[in-house]
């Protein structure tokens, strides 16, 4: 099983990142858009401030669930597709939850 390759700290980061509904919504938005997005772009889909989305971006990135590319002052986030595929998370995240 793929998770056996992770130590306790790695698993804790992944589970922590997935424990917040807003972070799952962010992952869903990134998956559905199939492209990298900025905090502002993601924030426009949610009722969250830029600073809150940025905080969630950081948690997702530290868990390895997303990748970040910096261009000037702008940070672009995209999903770590290989990891999400290995964890079989994409079908779960894409499930039709109501975005509140």
Q: Residue 82 maps to which CATH number? A: 1.10.10.10
User: Is 20 domain-assigned?
Assistant: yes
Q: Which structural domain, as residue segments, surrounds residue 79?
A: 2-90
User: Is 100 domain-assigned?
Assistant: no
Return the pLDDT at 11: 84
In this model, does residue 4 exceed pLDDT 80? no
Number of domains forming the structure of the chain: 1
User: Is 55 domain-assigned?
Assistant: yes
User: Is 80 domain-assigned?
Assistant: yes
- pLDDT tens, residue by residue, 51-81: 999 999 999 999 999 999 999 999 899 999 8
In this model, does residue 6 exceed pLDDT 90? no
Q: How confident is the model at residue 2 (pLDDT cuts 50, 70, 90)?
A: low
Return the pLDDT at 100: 52
Return the pLDDT at 26: 95
User: Is 98 domain-assigned?
Assistant: no
In this model, does residue 99 exceed pLDDT 60? no
> What is the secondary structure of the chain as a DSSP string?
-GGGGS-HHHHHHHHHHHTSHHHHHHHHHHHHHTS-B-HHHHHHHTT--HHHHHHHHHHHHHTTSEEEEEETTEEEEEE-HHHHHHTT-HHHHHS-----
- pLDDT tens, residue by residue, 13-56: 989 999 999 999 999 999 999 899 999 999 999 989 999 999 99
User: Is 34 domain-assigned?
Assistant: yes
């Amino acid at each position: 099983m793929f998770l056996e390759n992770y130590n306790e700290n790695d698993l804790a980061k992944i589970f922590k990142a997935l424990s917040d509904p807003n972070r799952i919504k962010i992952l869903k938005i990134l998956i559905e858009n199939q492209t990298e997005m900025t905090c502002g772009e993601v924030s426009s889909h949610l009722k969250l401030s830029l600073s809150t989305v940025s905080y969630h971006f950081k948690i997702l990135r530290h868990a390895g669930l997303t990748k970040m590319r910096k261009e000037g002052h702008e940070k672009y986030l995209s999903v770590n597709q290989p990891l999400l595929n290995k964890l079989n998370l994409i079908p779960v995240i894409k499930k039709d939850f109501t975005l509140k």
